[in-house]
Chain A
Amino acid sequence: MTLAQKIEERFFKVLMILATYFILFILAIIIYSIFEKGVKSISWEMLTQIPKGGYYYGKDGGILNAILGSLSLATGATVLAFLIGLPVALYINVFLIRNKKLVNVIRFLLDLVWGIPSIVYGAFGFMLMIFFGIQTSLLAGILTVTLFILPIMIRSMDEILRTVPIGLMEAAYSLGSNKSETAFKIFTRQSISGIITAVLLSFGRAIGDAASVLFTAGYTDNLPNSLMEPVATLPLSIFFQLSSPVPEVQNRAYASALVLTLIILIVSLFSRGIGKRYHKTKINF
């Protein structure tokens, strides 16, 4: 090796190490600043009360409306997306096994919708609301977020279902199972841990996205009580509180951000744990 080569080798290796640790460093900074700011302003009161009069000028109250609102909206959307997404993923991998071309076209379409930004779904949802004469409401929010997380969920389910070996399918068929039994009884069981991960991943996306609920879910100080009423969400509560000039309210935005980040971190930890737990019945090929 010549000296020039040696220097080049060294130089790029140092750059690579710098880049890698830069990413870890940035992650640490983000987590640190959210926690540092959030922990200072979080309180029991904030987590258990709804906004009272003058809350947005710094008076008493909490963000329970947004916490419960976000949880119900994300849960509703995740359930709906699951009911539509799982059949699609199973259909591609069990029913269409003979038709590779069609499968490729469907996967291509899924890739396309997967990349569409959430604000476009938000605008589309808003348009539908006007068309059908629906007000901003929990229902409108759920429907919009469902469309937005559907491609995310299907894609990650598809990635898992693709790895089911054809031998398992042959085994199921040789016992006389029909296609939908093979799909819903055998394929789902074999992929259960991956399916749960896909669902939780989508839940995390649903609860964290603001752009799609901005037009459709509205905002309210009340707890969610009806599908047809507007509902508060955590991302929007952060956004609104942060734009207030009152320092106390801004501090609550930091606390709300901490709550949202914690929910998402817990969900992602949970998905790893559950994945391990349900791994037992999976056959390793």
Chain B
Amino acid sequence: MYLLNRQQRHVVNYSWMIVSLLLVAFLPFFLFLGLYLKSFLLLHDYSLVDLIFSREWRPSNGKFGFYPFIVGSVWVTLVAMIITAPICLLTAIYVTQYTKKYFLRIMHPAIDILAGIPSVVYGLWGILVVVPFISRYLGPWLEIKTMGYSILAASLVLSIMIIPFVLNILIEIFKSIPTELKEAALSLGATQWQTVKSVLLRKAMPGIIAAFGFGLARAFGETMAVLMVVGNVVRLPKSLFDPGYTLPALIANNYGEMMSIPRYDSALMFAALLLLIVSLFFNLVMHFFIVKYNKY
């Protein structure tokens, strides 16, 4: 009936599992090592400080200054997080503390759909809705000249993209806080909002920080949607309404030419390495916040 006997099948399954596990467990190291080796050429010829803080980006002249891209990425990410954070926090409190269970059952599919919409579709929506909104209404209203393709447009699109991600973590965290704690505060005569402030938020603080941290890491690496609305101009943005450029967009836009200019491929791999390091760093730090939260 079977080709192999029980013991043989066990051995096959077991080795298959071990090989798969090793592949997955060493993936971060492979990624790091590979990208590091590829960007070694660049790191060998330029100092790290120069690369990161130099403003001049002219690959054909051998000038590789990543500063504008780093600044662009940081702006876009921070502004997106500033928009997302209060919305997610308020919503998470509302759906876990103030509404009946059925409301969460409506919210969950909505969050799932938001999470499932692909990045390019968000980008397209940004071009269709957000960019014209900024150039035709918001800009003129504030008396600022803008094309619409700007740091702000990217931040707005990005802030919506990370909502499902941050919100899911926050909901899980608030759900895990025992009801007895809240009941204790309520029975002392605290109002519902006071209970939220004094018990819920305080108790959940490490978890909330972790949720925002994971959101930041996610936003920092987002590529296509940002690329489509940020403007892609290598310049230090002076205001939110200026166009900018981000690290992921830099990689995605230039992969075609990178083989034709010396060290260009190395430079793009260095950008990917930077993204990897930022992502690993944030996830590492936030992991400890979560561990700390779970200890309570």
Is there any pair of Cβ atoms, one from A and one from B, under 8 angstroms apart in the complex?
A: yes
**A216 CB → nearest B CB, Å:** 10
Q: Which residues of chain A in 71-108 are interfacial with respect to chain B, using CB atoms and an 8 Å cutoff? A: 83-85, 87-88, 90-92, 95, 106, 108
Residue picked from B21, B25, B38, B112, most chain A C-beta under 10 Å: B21
Between A and B, 27 residue pairs with Cβ closer than 8 Å are: A9-B192, A27-B110, A30-B117, A34-B125, A84-B20, A91-B17, A106-B21, A109-B24, A112-B280, A112-B284, A115-B279, A116-B28, A117-B279, A123-B35, A123-B268, A123-B272, A127-B35, A127-B269, A128-B34, A180-B17, A181-B6, A181-B10, A209-B118, A211-B248, A215-B255, A239-B120, A242-B124
With contacts A88-B21, A109-B25, A115-B217 taken as known, whether A26 is within 8 angstroms of B283 at the C-beta atoms is: no
User: B98–A268 contact, CB under 8 A?
Assistant: no
Q: Which residues of chain B in 107-146 are interfacial with respect to chain A, using CB atoms and an 8 Å cutoff? A: 107, 110, 112-114, 116-125, 127-129
CB of A254 within 8 Å of the partner chain:
yes
Q: How far does the alpha carbon of A87 sit from the alpha carbon of B17 in the complex, in Å?
A: 5
With contacts A9-B191, A242-B127 taken as known, whether A123 is within 8 angstroms of B269 at the C-beta atoms is: yes
CB of A140 within 8 Å of the partner chain:
no
CB of B222 within 8 Å of the partner chain:
yes
Q: How far does the alpha carbon of A19 sit from the alpha carbon of B88 in the complex, in Å?
A: 8
13 A-B pairs besides A115-B217, A239-B224 with CB distance below 8 A are A12-B193, A17-B94, A20-B91, A24-B110, A34-B121, A37-B128, A112-B280, A113-B28, A116-B280, A151-B27, A183-B13, A214-B255, A260-B121
Q: How far does the alpha carbon of A109 sit from the alpha carbon of B28 in the complex, in Å?
A: 8
Give 1 or 0 for each of B209-221: 1 = CB within 8 Å of chain A CB: 0000010011011
User: A27–B90 contact, CB under 8 A?
Assistant: no
Give 1 or 0 for each of A232-269: 1 = CB within 8 Å of chain B CB: 00010011001000000000011001001100110010
User: B191–A1 contact, CB under 8 A?
Assistant: yes
**Contact residues in A for B35 (Cβ distance below 8 Å):** 120, 123-124, 127
Q: How far does the alpha carbon of A184 sit from the alpha carbon of B88 in the complex, in Å?
A: 39
Q: Across the A-B interface, how many residue pairs have beta carbons closer than 8 Å?
A: 235
Secondary structure type dominating chain A contacts: helix
CB-contact partner of B87 in A23, A124, A150, A264, under 8 A: A23
**Contact residues in B for A84 (Cβ distance below 8 Å):** 20, 23-24
CB of A29 within 8 Å of the partner chain:
yes
Q: Which residue of A lies closest to B164 (CB)?
A: A23
User: A268–B224 contact, CB under 8 A?
Assistant: no
Q: Which residue of B lies closest to A271 (CB)?
A: B112
CB of A276 within 8 Å of the partner chain:
no
User: A112–B272 contact, CB under 8 A?
Assistant: no
CB of A154 within 8 Å of the partner chain:
yes
Residue picked from A13, A29, A120, A127, most chain B C-beta under 10 Å: A120
CB of B252 within 8 Å of the partner chain:
yes
B: residues with CB less than 8 A from A are 6, 9-10, 13-14, 16-18, 20-21, 23-25, 27-28, 30-31, 34-35, 38, 86-88, 90-91, 93-95, 98, 107, 110, 112-114, 116-125, 127-129, 160, 163, 167, 191-194, 196, 214, 217-218, 220-224, 228, 248, 251-252, 255, 268-269, 272, 275-276, 279-280, 282-284, 287
**A113 CB → nearest B CB, Å:** 5
User: A19–B279 contact, CB under 8 A?
Assistant: no
CB of A8 within 8 Å of the partner chain:
yes
**A159 CB → nearest B CB, Å:** 11
**Contact residues in A for B95 (Cβ distance below 8 Å):** 20
Q: Which 7 A-B pairs have the closest CB atoms?
A: A117-B221, A208-B118, A123-B272, A16-B94, A19-B90, A180-B13, A211-B223
User: A124–B228 contact, CB under 8 A?
Assistant: no
**Contact residues in A for B118 (Cβ distance below 8 Å):** 207-210, 235, 260-261, 264
With contacts A88-B24, A268-B113 taken as known, whether A257 is within 8 angstroms of B193 at the C-beta atoms is: no
Q: How far does the alpha carbon of A92 sit from the alpha carbon of B25 in the complex, in Å?
A: 12
Interface size class of A (residues with CB under 8 A): 35 or more
User: B34–A124 contact, CB under 8 A?
Assistant: yes
**B262 CB → nearest A CB, Å:** 15
Q: How far does the alpha carbon of A91 sit from the alpha carbon of B268 in the complex, in Å?
A: 37
User: A120–B31 contact, CB under 8 A?
Assistant: yes
User: B120–A26 contact, CB under 8 A?
Assistant: no
CB-contact partner of B248 in A85, A119, A147, A239, under 8 A: A119
**A145 CB → nearest B CB, Å:** 13
CB of A204 within 8 Å of the partner chain:
yes
User: A19–B91 contact, CB under 8 A?
Assistant: yes
CB-contact partner of B93 in A16, A22, A110, A184, under 8 A: A16
Q: Which residue of A lies closest to B218 (CB)?
A: A115
Q: How far does the alpha carbon of A130 sit from the alpha carbon of B120 in the complex, in Å?
A: 26
Q: Which residue of A lies closest to B103 (CB)?
A: A20
**Contact residues in B for A118 (Cβ distance below 8 Å):** 221, 223
**B175 CB → nearest A CB, Å:** 15
Q: How far does the alpha carbon of A20 sit from the alpha carbon of B170 in the complex, in Å?
A: 14
Q: Which residue of A lies closest to B31 (CB)?
A: A124
User: B124–A238 contact, CB under 8 A?
Assistant: yes
